[in-house]
Amino acid sequence: MGTDAIRLDGKIAVITGGAGGIGAATARLMAARGAKLVIADIALDRAEALAAELPDAIALHLDLADEASTEAMVAATVRHFGRLDVLHNNAALLGPEIAQADGDVEHMATTLWDRTYAVNVRGTMIACRAALPHLRASRGNIVNTVSNLALQGHIIQAAYSSSKAAIVQMTRAIAASHGVYGVRCNAVAPGMTVTPALLEAFPPPLRKCVEDETLRDRLGAPEDIAEAVAFLASDAARNITGQVLVADGGAASHVPGIAGFRAFFGEH
């Protein structure tokens, strides 16, 4: 396959939560590499604006908490493009009010827990279920956006992090059950990524806490995560399935307290 294996020429890709942040960056990158796109988002106006910028893309309304909406997304994709090659499950329940309410388990509202799981876990499952027959036909693949918090404990975001951990296991389950049909399923686990939603939800002192634990000189950008997603979606990753690619600038790779050690030894 050579160096062209990273290209996505002719592939039909659905990106959920594709209207902004990581989803929009991934849409732009996949389009640049030759994919035809469905940008699915609850914010249809923003999805339509992005689709208008790209050479071969359509926008669809998606409410991941609504089973019929999620199934209709896949059906509309196949009806319009005739096939489906890549499903990028990127949409999740986000926003400053959600982040502020999502704390530890002792103080967790059942309604927030249920809403988080309805969107993040149940919605992702339904999208995968609807897509898999078409991915079997095309020998396509799924890339799920999870989080490095799916692999770590934290004092906040118990609902979000545990929902993403459930998607990690769903990723492995689909890889195991459908690999024999030529379907791959992987996940990308970003760390704190500088998106408009993040800037609104997390004040500078909290962002600084994570930045100090990052092995790079900055937090990740949406384009950084898009590169990981596009790689896993491409034929260059043809022998990779059931894996979680952690793209967090090394924040999860070291012992806790590295920021304190840096300060003690006078680094930076």
- CA 187-192-197 angle, to 5 degrees, is 100
Does the residue 267 lie in any domain? no
Residue 222: CB atoms within 10 Å: 22
Q: How confident is the model at residue 155 (pLDDT cuts 50, 70, 90)?
A: confident
Domain range spanning residue 39?
Answer: 2-202+219-253
Q: Which residues are marked as active site?
A: 160
Asked whether residue 213 is domain-assigned, the answer is no
* In-domain check, residue 246: yes
pLDDT tens digits for range 172-207: 999 999 999 999 999 999 988 988 887 887 888 888
Please indicate, yes or no, if residue 98 is contained in any of the structural domains. Answer: yes
Q: What pLDDT score does 3 carry?
A: 58
Element (H, E) at 258: helix 258-264
pLDDT tens-place string over residues 240-261? 999 999 999 999 888 777 776 5
Check residues 62 and 2 and name the one with the higher pLDDT.
Answer: 62
pLDDT at 206 (0 to 100): 82
Q: 129 pLDDT exceeds 90? A: yes
Residue 208 included in any domain = no
Return d(Cα 60, Cα 145) in angstroms, integer: 19
Given a cut of 80, whether residue 266 has pLDDT beyond it is no
pTM here is 0.93
pLDDT at residue 199, as a whole number? 83
User: With 90 as the cut, is the pLDDT of residue 33 above it?
Assistant: yes
**What are the pLDDT digits (tens) for 163-181?**
999 999 999 999 999 999 9
Report the alpha-carbon distance of residue 263 to residue 267 in Å, rounded: 6
Q: Look up the CATH number of the domain holding residue 29.
A: 3.40.50.720
Cβ atoms of 262 and 268 within 8 Å: the answer is yes
Number of domains in the chain: 1
pLDDT for residue 254: 84
Please indicate, yes or no, if residue 266 is contained in any of the structural domains.
Answer: no
Mean pLDDT of the region 110-127? 98
Domain presence at residue 81: yes
CA dist., res. 175 & res. 76, Å (int): 25
Cα 220 from Cα 142, distance rounded (Å): 22
**Beta-sheet pairing, 57-61 with 12-16:** unpaired
What pLDDT digit, counting tens, does each position of 72-112 carry? 999 999 999 999 999 999 999 988 899 889 999 999 999 99
